[in-house]
């Protein structure tokens, strides 16, 4: 199956996957030394399940699979990341939330 066909299938199946299934997939990637990095330029924020804020999803988000070495080259610690070009907005909103309980 080529990447176009698999992309179409993943679009349909991905929407039906549970959080547990996604976690299992990410753990398998980690075992292979790969980490998911989502790059977004969406200035809109949503609450993160881990606390704080993250960029809301957007149609133009980019998904990258990077190795440990590639993460370090980009100044990132090993792990899965959501990156945005709007870092100052996220930092501002997070600090504002802390300053005004």
pLDDT score of 93? 36
* CA 68/CA 47 separation, integer angstroms: 27
* CA 46/CA 54 separation, integer angstroms: 6
pLDDT score of 96? 40
Q: Residue ranges per domain, the chain?
A: 1-31, 33-101
Query: For the whole model, what pTM was predicted?
Result: 0.73
Please report, in tens digits, the pLDDT of each residue of the chain (101 residues total). Answer: 889 998 888 888 888 999 899 999 999 999 999 999 988 888 888 888 878 888 888 888 999 999 999 999 999 999 998 888 755 344 333 334 434 44
pLDDT score of 36? 93
């Amino acid at each position: 199956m080529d990447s176009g066909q698999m992309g179409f299938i993943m679009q349909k199946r991905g929407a039906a996957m549970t959080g547990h299934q996604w976690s299992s997939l990410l753990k398998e990637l980690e075992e292979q030394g790969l980490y998911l990095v989502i790059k977004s330029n969406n200035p809109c924020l949503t609450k993160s399940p881990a606390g704080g804020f993250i960029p809301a999803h957007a149609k133009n988000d980019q998904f990258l699979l990077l190795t440990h070495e590639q993460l370090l080259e980009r100044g990132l610690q090993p792990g899965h990341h959501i990156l945005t070009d709007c870092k100052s907005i996220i930092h501002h909103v997070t600090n504002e939330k802390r300053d005004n309980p």
